[in-house]
Amino acid sequence: MLSSNEYEEEFPVLKRKINGHRLVYLDNAATSLRPKQVMEAVTEYSLNHHANVHRSTHTLASEATEMFESSRQKIAKFINAQEEEVIFTKGTTESLNLLAYSLAISKIVKPNEEILITTMEHHSNFVPWQQIGKIFNIKIKYFPLRKGIFELDEYLKYINLKTKIISITGISNVTGQVIPINMIVEKARKIRKDIIIIVDGAQYVPHISVNVKSLDIDFLAFSGHKMLGPTGIGILYGKKEYLERMSPFLYGGEMIDKVSMEDTTFTILPYKFEAGTPNVEGSIGLAKAVDFLQQIGMNNIAQHDNELTQYALEKMKKLDFLEIYGPKNNLQSSIISFNVKGIHPHDVAHLLNEIAGVAIRSGHHCAQPMMTELGVRSTCRVSFYIYNQNEDIDILIEGLKKVWEWLK
């Protein structure tokens, strides 16, 4: 890992003063900061190589296409996928909507089959399936969490021969609980061999080394802006055998083979799912973010996140005015949700920013069914990444003590 000074050089925003205090950025589950390397790569493309891709033969277009496809190649290698299995999208949300719609209209999932999701999911991995279930008359089965904690043995009881699709987060964006994806895959395939397993990797991929082949998952969705990359760029990985069977989600330029008055045929993977002009600079920025993460090492990042989370949990458990949600042990990484007893989460977040320069999230975190499971309407949430240190946690703790003293 880099030193605090090295991170400040790479992430200049960390030098900012917020209300006279050093910025402590603990809102990484919403969006991560971007290093200079990423933005310099985007700027270099934008200033010197910008053109549309795959459409022209002039120099700029050729350079832009090469950079775009090189980014795909790098990201594919990062998750151990084939290049044609990596589709550029706007983010996890679009990737999961694409999946829900395409799997349904392609009749890969049928009305007499079931889709299993949990009540801990982000709305992006909840609402699309719910709505597709209504439109196509497909049964959606919901696995309820007990006090917001995922229990594998109980979850497996919800899988049966009718279960065609499992869509589940890799890390809860509310509690930070790490879900045992490898165990789910192993157990689920013993129940039904052709079950389709989809992982919402928005919180998972930035923090844990992911090998889609060894995990044997069928689809993986993740976003660039949660892993040091630009906003508006994301990835859908899918096994080639399914992508070839699926109908496109969007229609338009670049994704066609032949168009006539009678019908249209579609081009090869991955382009049949990439209608229109893509976010070329976003793909280049995401590829550079992957470089940055790999230089640090994903195993080092996971260890750092785990150590920081456990340090924070240890400190926070000593504050008897906090209600902490989730496992509160080593099953939890990079994210902690909590409430200050008797004080609205928005007030806590506002005051931490004002009196300590600490940036946290407050709200339902796009996970209202999870809030129902926890018995609250909203929570405070802190989330950590590579540039956070123990000192940041210490500042958070002192800030929380002040908030309690002022508002209790």
In a domain, 34, yes or no: no
Average pLDDT of span 84-106: 97
DSSP classification of residue 261: S
46 with 157, same domain: the answer is: yes
DSSP H helices in 192-342: 212-215, 240-245, 280-296, 298-317
Average pLDDT of span 95-104: 97
| pLDDT the model gives residue 243 | 98
User: Which residue type sits at 399?
Assistant: G
276 with 334, same domain: the answer is: no
In a domain, 128, yes or no: yes
> Which helix (DSSP H) or strand (DSSP E) does residue 109 occupy?
none
Average pLDDT of span 188-214: 98
176 with 283, same domain: the answer is: yes
Average pLDDT of span 209-229: 98
Answer yes or no: is pLDDT of 293 > 90.
yes
| pLDDT the model gives residue 92 | 98
Cβ pair 340, 322 in contact under 8 A: yes
290 with 382, same domain: the answer is: no
Domain boundary among 274, 295, 316: 295
Residue 172's closest CA among 148, 198, 142?
A: 148
> Phi/psi of residue 16, each to 5°?
-65, 150
Residue 167's closest CA among 100, 223, 216, 101?
A: 100
Which percentage of the chain shows pLDDT scores above 70? Answer: 100
Domain boundary among 295, 317, 351: 295
Cβ pair 224, 31 in contact under 8 A: no
In a domain, 367, yes or no: yes
Domain boundary among 262, 295, 328: 295
Cβ pair 200, 233 in contact under 8 A: no
379 with 248, same domain: the answer is: no
Answer yes or no: is pLDDT of 254 > 90.
no
222 with 102, same domain: the answer is: yes
Average pLDDT of span 216-225: 98
**Domain CATH code at residue 383:** 3.90.1150.10
**Domain CATH code at residue 77:** 3.40.640.10
In a domain, 217, yes or no: yes
Task: Report, in angstroms and rounded to the nearest whole number, the Rg of the chain calculated over CA atoms.
Answer: 22
Residue 31's closest CA among 107, 121, 91?
A: 91
224 with 86, same domain: the answer is: yes
Mean pLDDT over the full length of the chain: 96
> Which helix (DSSP H) or strand (DSSP E) does residue 373 occupy?
helix 368-374
Residue 97's closest CA among 120, 69, 125?
A: 125
In a domain, 33, yes or no: no
Q: Which domain holds residue 21?
A: 4-28+297-407
pLDDT confidence tier of residue 294, bands split at 50, 70 and 90: very high
Full DSSP string of 138-196: -EEEEE--BTTB--HHHHHTT--TTEEEEEEESB-TTT-BBP-HHHHHHHHHHH-TT-E
238 with 321, same domain: the answer is: no
Q: How many domains does one find in the chain?
A: 2
In a domain, 139, yes or no: yes
298, 343, 366, 376: which one is catalytic? 366
262 with 376, same domain: the answer is: no
Cβ pair 215, 181 in contact under 8 A: yes
384 with 266, same domain: the answer is: no
- Tens digits of residue pLDDT in 10-59: 999 999 999 999 999 999 999 999 999 999 999 999 999 999 999 899 99
In a domain, 166, yes or no: yes
Cβ pair 142, 117 in contact under 8 A: yes
Average pLDDT of span 372-383: 97
197 with 306, same domain: the answer is: no
- Whether the link from the prior residue into 345 is cis, omega within 30° of 0, is no
Residue 390's closest CA among 311, 322, 325, 274?
A: 311
Answer yes or no: is pLDDT of 408 > 80.
no
Examine the residue annotation and report whether 366 is marked as an active-site residue of this protein. yes
Q: Determine how β-strand 17-18 pairs with β-strand 21-22.
A: antiparallel
The pair of structure tokens assigned to 246 is 């699926």
Question: How far apart (Å, rounded) are the C-alpha atoms in residues 394 and 379?
Answer: 20
276 with 392, same domain: the answer is: no
